[in-house]
Copies of this chain bind each other. A is one copy, B any other.
Amino acid sequence: MVYFDNAATSFPKPDVVYESVMKAMKEYGANPGRSGHKLALRLGREIFETRELLANLFNIKNPMNLIFTFNCTESLNIAIKGILEKGDHVITTSMEHNSVLRPIKAMERQGVEITIVKGDSAGRINPKDIEKSIKKNTKLIITTHISNLTGTIMPIEEIGKITKKKGIYFLVDAAQSAGVYPIDVEKMNIDMLAFPGHKGLLGPQGTGGLYIREGLDVRELSQGGTGSVSYELEQPNILPDRYESGTLNGPGIIGLGAGVKYIMEKGMDSIRKHEEELTMHFIEEITKINNVKVYGPLNVEEQGAVVSINIGNQDSSEISYILDQSYNIEVRPGIHCAPIAHETMGTLEQGTVRFSFGPFNTHEEIELGIKAIREISNQL
């Protein structure tokens, strides 16, 4: 079986991730931050270690400014709803995932104004178009780091310069980049960074995180028990507790920590280089095949390990079905939860067949993928 669906969830995980999850569940599966006994303290300590690891990875000064969530979608909801208010203006791009678009659409009904800056035919966003859209009431700019449809890498450092200059908050959706591409919240002027644990960071599902810049007053989405100031009926105002109500996914976070450690030991650059090689070769070969349309910038300086294609006018679901059934190759078809990005690409009806590569994919697998596309294209 060849798994090319790493943009949905990375698979497999490093062995150390499986082992860490199991160890946490079996040996110290208590409730962190609640009780004071040995098991609870051990889990609490190791969760803090994961916080530190992630803080290091993203150059976050204080690990307490990094909160754990259920998934990247929850992180984005907290960031968007916690900062925007009636009368505010928010700018985002046509390349966003529904995890950004749907929350801002919900805020629109509460009186928030939206501007969506359109990408070009390869999904590129021009920072100047963002700058031009800024109005007096612009409070927040949201952009994905890497498009989940076309793999297009966005110029977040340049956008961060604009938001800093203009005093606007900058929220980055790192769903497709965290763990693979360098992210420095200081250098890039990122005020809030949302990321999943189960994609590039190689952790288990049920994990995600949000960085909130020190001093930024983001309203919490949920309230509940935090294991801190338990005598108070008001949600505590301290970080990370304010945003971490109820029991965390302890073993999941431990597994995420193991994933981050694996990346650091292996070297994020070397993982990225490997993915770039696979992506580059894949793009080079499939663009030569008759009838195959490949979306995105088509070069690894501008495109991550996500490649969307179509074969002729064939329905993307049908192609994926053939890949799965006849070739045992697992990809994702259809509309990739990014409707305006599909509009931008002109693929809202056909969808796309998305190939997304991870650290455990091999050159041999890429060859199998290329061969399969060639054969399917010939047969149609």
Contact = CB atoms under 8 A, between A and B. Distances in A.
Interface of A: 1, 3, 5, 8-9, 11-13, 18, 21-22, 25-26, 29-31, 34-40, 69-74, 76-77, 97-99, 101-103, 105-106, 196, 198, 204-208, 221-227, 230-235, 245-252, 317, 320-321, 323-324, 330-340, 342, 348
A330 B224 contact: no
A5 B21 contact: no
A376 B337 CA distance: 60
A246 B70 contact: yes
Contact of A102 (B38, B234, B249): B234
B205 A249 contact: yes
A225 B39 contact: no
Contact of A246 (B74, B230, B332): B74
A196 to B, nearest CB: 7
Given A5-B37, A36-B320, A233-B339, A103 B206 contact: no
A279 to B, nearest CB: 19
A331 B101 contact: no
Contacts of A227: 337
A70 B29 contact: no
Contacts of A330: 30, 35, 37-40
A339 B330 CA distance: 51
Given A206-B206, A208-B246, 7 more contacts: A5-B37, A21-B21, A35-B320, A36-B332, A98-B224, A105-B223, A226-B337
A5 B40 contact: yes
Contacts of A320: 35-37
A22 B29 contact: no
A310 to B, nearest CB: 16
B74 A25 contact: no
Contacts of A74: 70, 222, 245-246
A106 B205 contact: no
A34 B230 contact: no
10 contacts: A8-B31, A13-B25, A34-B332, A35-B330, A77-B222, A98-B230, A99-B245, A205-B247, A221-B221, A232-B339
A77 B224 contact: yes
Nearest to A199: B247
Nearest to A81: B222
Contacts of A251: 204-206
A222 B103 contact: yes
A334 to B, nearest CB: 7
A202 to B, nearest CB: 11
A103 B223 contact: yes
A81 B38 CA distance: 36
9 smallest A-B Cβ distances: which pairs? A73-B246, A206-B249, A225-B337, A102-B223, A73-B224, A8-B31, A99-B224, A35-B332, A206-B206
Nearest to A9: B31
A175 to B, nearest CB: 9
Contact of A31 (B5, B39, B248): B5
Contact of A334 (B70, B204, B230): B230
A231 B102 contact: no
Nearest to A77: B222
A36 to B, nearest CB: 6
Contacts of A18: 22, 25-26
Contacts of A39: 1, 3, 5, 11, 330
Contacts of A30: 3, 5, 8-9, 11, 330
A256 to B, nearest CB: 11
A108 to B, nearest CB: 9
